[in-house]
Structure 1
Amino acid sequence: MADLLGSILNSMEKPPTVGDKESRRKAREQAARLKKMEEQEKKRKAEFRRKMEKEVSDFIQDSLQQKRKYNPMGKIERSILHDVAEVAGLTSFSFGEDEESRYVMLFKKEFAPSDEELEAYRKGEEWDPKVAEQRRRLKEQAALEETESSQTKKAETCPNSNYRDKYSHLIGTSAAKDAAHTLEANSTYGCVPVANKRDTRSIEEAMNEMRAKKRQKQEGDSGARSSSSS
């Protein structure tokens, strides 16, 4: 019986010491502070969202405003504002290079910004529609002048007139290539046309001529021997 009672007492949790009580108290206090901070942060976000919903609603109802720019705000606030704008059917963008300087701009759908306007905001520049229109016209004028210049250069390299007609009083009506067929070779320079080199005799005529020349040579040789023997 004593052994059973001893085993039960040993299995029971020992009462906390003074140090353990202090640690648990601090843990409970820290948990309470964290919970309170979370509740305050949640309340602050809800208040900020209600405020943005009111401002966005006023912006939509104001027919004179096409866009609205907000002061720089934190990442959480920007996220809430983007969400409110999306629910309201607006277009929203964040601009600014540094996190501390990031701000949000809202645009009504019918006045959505152009690529040039967005690029200006990204560069930290102010957007002026009149200046943008002047730049657009200058670009169009420059492109038109460049096109006309390229067409002029192309026309200069490809003349419409034929040079043979232009200089017919110098080279005549026939081109040099056509006139070359009418030229005859000059024998003084040893140039004989191919047509003059061609033998038009038949084989039989050529053989008869060769035999006659051979007989003539033989007769000449025999006459020379007779005169030498006498």
Structure 2
Amino acid sequence: MMDLLGSILNSMEKPPTVGNQESRRKAREQAAKIKQLQEDEKRKKAEFRKYMEKEVSDFIRDGAQQKKKYDPMGKIERTILHDVAEVAGVTSFSLGEDEESRYVMLFKKEFAPSDEELEAYRKGEEWNPQVAEQRRRLKEQAALEDAADSQSERVKACPNSNYRDKYSHLIGTSAAKDAAHALEANSTYGYVPVANKRDTRSIEEALNEIRVKKRQKRGDHAGEGTGSS
């Protein structure tokens, strides 16, 4: 019986030492701090969101405001503000070159910024529509001048006239005659003019004409012989 009880007691977990108890206490305190920090962060996010919801709502109701610029804020705060703006139907942009200077600007839908305006904000400049219009006109003028210069260079590179124009007084008459001759040939007899054909008689007519000429020739020779005797 004593042996059985001894074995049971030996198999039971030994009570923690003083060092182990201290480590567990510190672990519990650290876990409690982490949980508290998470709860505080969650509460702060909720409060910031509520604050931004009111800010965006006031911005929408203010008819004199077309846009609103906020001071630089952290990434989490910017994310919350973007989400609130999207839900409210407001356009938002994060601007600024580095993380420390990043800020958010809100725009009402009907006053959404142009690419030129956003580019000015990204460069840290104030948006001035009059200055932007002057810049746009200068760019257009420069583009027109470049196009005119390119056109002028192309005109200089091309000859003013070709050899046909230059020597038209020499080749024009010959070309005109050739064209007239071809036109006459086509109109009179298909392809070849009748006047240019060597013989328009049939073969039989040609043979008959040759026979007649031979008879006439023989008759002439006979008359000459009789006269001489």
TM-score (norm 1): 0.66
Partner of 1:51: 51
Partner of 2:86: 86
Unaligned runs of at least 5 residues, structure 2: 175-229
3-state DSSP of counterpart to 1:35: helix
Partner of 2:169: 173
Partner of 1:225: none
Write out aligned runs for 1:106-121 (5 A): 106-121=106-121
Aligned-pair CA distance for 1:14: 1.3
Partner of 1:5: 5
1:122-156 per-residue CA deviation (whole Å, 9 max, x = no partner) reads 22222111111111122222223333444455455
3-state DSSP of counterpart to 1:104: strand
Aligned-pair CA distance for 1:117: 1.4
Partner Cα distance (1:68, 1:81) in 2: 12
1:6-50 per-residue CA deviation (whole Å, 9 max, x = no partner) reads 221112121222222222221221111111111111111111111
Partner Cα distance (1:13, 1:99) in 2: 54
Partner of 1:23: 23
Write out aligned runs for 1:133-152 (5 A): 133-152=133-152
Q: What amino acid sits opposite 2:70 in the alignment? A: Y
Could you say what the CA RMSD is over the residues aligned between the two structures, in angstroms? Answer: 2.8
Partner Cα distance (2:9, 2:148) in 1: 106
Aligned-pair CA distance for 1:163: 7.8
Aligned-pair CA distance for 1:173: 2.8
3-state DSSP of counterpart to 1:64: coil
Aligned-pair CA distance for 1:158: 5.3
TM-score (norm 2): 0.66
Unaligned runs of at least 5 residues, structure 1: 179-230
Aligned length: 174
1:176-214 per-residue CA deviation (whole Å, 9 max, x = no partner) reads xx7xxxxxxxxxxxxxxxxxxxxxxxxxxxxxxxxxxxx
Q: What amino acid sits opposite 2:35 in the alignment? A: K
Partner Cα distance (2:109, 2:27) in 1: 52
Partner Cα distance (2:106, 2:134) in 1: 25
